[in-house]
Amino acid sequence: MPFLILNIAIFALLVAFLVKQQRSEQTLSKRVFTSLGLGVLFGAALQLLYGGGSDVIANTLEYINIVGAGYVSLLKMIIMPLIMVSIIGAIIKVKDSGSLGKISGLSIGILLATTAASALIGILISNLFGLSAEGIVQGAREIARGEVLENRLGTVEALSFADMVISFFPGNPFADLAGSRPTSTIAVVIFSAFIGVAGLTVIRTQPELGASFEKFMQVAQEIVRTLVRMVLSLTPYGVLALMTKVVAGSNYDDILSLANFVVASYVGLGLILVMHLVLVSLVGVNPIRFLKKILPVLTFAFTSRSSAGTLPFNIDTQVKKLGNGEGVSNFSASFGATMGQNGCAGLYPAMLAVMIAPTIGINPLDPGFMLTLIAIITISSFGIAGVGGGATFAALIVLSALDMPVALAGLLISIEPLIDMGRTAVNVSGSMTAGTITSRLLGQADHAVFEADQEADSKPVNA
């Protein structure tokens, strides 16, 4: 108990230091990176003092997680209101419902294309590092995980591509606003688009009522934006808690035993990030400036391991720092959180398939196998959210489609959190890349916002 109190007191002092930074009007980016560093140091200190798996660490993280999990919950709280008012407001402002199809089509097309490229990177990296499932020893946790995956396989196999697409439609928009389904985010996007188009019709046919509706949406947007600023101002505290939990709760022996896969994964993720920078440069965007502007978002995605939780931060950055426009930003961020995820749905399933292939007599360098794998990954990435989302279900869909033993995917459970951090950051980078390219190709980008050096968060909101 004394050690628990001491640890919590130290965490409280770190929080107080971040509060002092906020009051001195340090930019949000600087405070996020400061909290990241403090979280790493504090988590490492806990590991060093008490040892991995210690009860003291477990009890300490239980209380620290109140801050981390609480912050992620607040972010999730504002996702649906933000998407709804932003998309409706953007449609009313543009007054062109025809542009919705172009924005959606381009965003989804770019997400799927980059996922296919990510799958190819996964195949090449796995072969380059000589990854194979044959040499990995199965422990009790790995065996248990494999059994769970095999039990879930039936659900995946029973779900067709048509079912995945159908799940995107908002049969009950109120349930989707409550986030009752894995595809609720896209369902709310579609519902909001319909409301926006209906609002445009009212504005054109009944100007007096339309003016009232426009005024109402302006008020709603301002309230939600203020709410978003309030929640985002808490980001450093959330990052501090989340990073402390990751570092203090990691099992370094497991990480070292699978170091080759960890290194290969991060090399692959790094190449995908480079691909994103090359793609934005092709549409006239300075890749270094782009990276600097999105880095705080990627940092939070890395620590939180939640693409959905990062969504408000993603949209805010696209609008205020990248100048992508509210319509494009909301569509690309929403689609990117639920489909075409470059890390979870592209790289990871490809690496697993290449690792498992030799165990069932398949040459992972066979061109036919590679093309089939890329095609399956690209198609399945469109509807992963329909079966719960995430890298696990992406792997289940791909491995089952290739008639591979899905239980072997459980071999990596011990390092799953560490790899998932990088995958999530790359997922978010992919959605921001799709938004940036879409806005540039459609001529909807605000170049002045992107070129501005002064950060929009220079004066944080005190929540």
Domain extent listing, the chain: 2-451
Give the number of other CB atoms < 10 A from CB of residue 375: 13
pLDDT value, residue 457: 47
Backbone φ, ψ for residue 26 (5° rounding) = -70, 145
Residue 155: pLDDT over 60: no
pLDDT value, residue 325: 85
Centroid of chain to Cα 76: 12
212 Cβ contact partners less than 8 Å away, ≥ 6 residues apart: none
In whole angstroms, give the CA distance from residue 102 to residue 98: 7
Supply angle C-alpha 347, 132, 430, rounded to 5: 5
Please, which pLDDT band fits residue 386 given cuts at 50, 70 and 90? very low
By mean pLDDT, which of 51-60, 183-192, 376-385, 433-442 is the weakest? 376-385
In whole angstroms, give the CA distance from residue 293 to residue 450: 9
Strand spans (E) along 277-341:
none
Residue 284 tokens, joined? 């006239």
Q: Are 450 and 328 in contact (CB under 8 A)?
A: no
In whole angstroms, give the CA distance from residue 193 to residue 91: 7
pLDDT value, residue 456: 46
Give the number of other CB atoms < 10 A from CB of residue 332: 31
In whole angstroms, give the CA distance from residue 399 to residue 146: 13
Give the architecture (CATH level 2) of 2-451.
Orthogonal Bundle (1.10)
Supply angle C-alpha 121, 125, 130, rounded to 5: 150
Q: Are 392 and 419 in contact (CB under 8 A)?
A: no
Q: State which of 133-142, 178-187, 263-272 shows the largest mean pLDDT.
A: 263-272
pLDDT value, residue 388: 41
133 Cβ contact partners less than 8 Å away, ≥ 6 residues apart: 355, 356, 358, 359, 408, 411
Residue with the larger pLDDT of the pair 405 and 109: 109
By mean pLDDT, which of 41-45, 321-325, 387-391 is the weakest? 387-391
Average pLDDT over residues 423-427: 92
If 0-12 CB within 10 Å is exposed, 13-18 middle and 19+ buried, where does residue 128 land? Answer: exposed
Residue with the larger pLDDT of the pair 254 and 359: 359
By mean pLDDT, which of 168-177, 181-190, 252-261, 390-399 is the weakest? 252-261
Torsion of CA 278, 280, 282, 283, to 10 degrees: 180
**Diameter of the chain measured on Cα atoms:** 72
By mean pLDDT, which of 24-38, 61-75, 157-171, 309-323 is the weakest? 157-171
Q: Which residue has the tokens 């009212």?
A: 202
Residue 459: pLDDT over 50: no
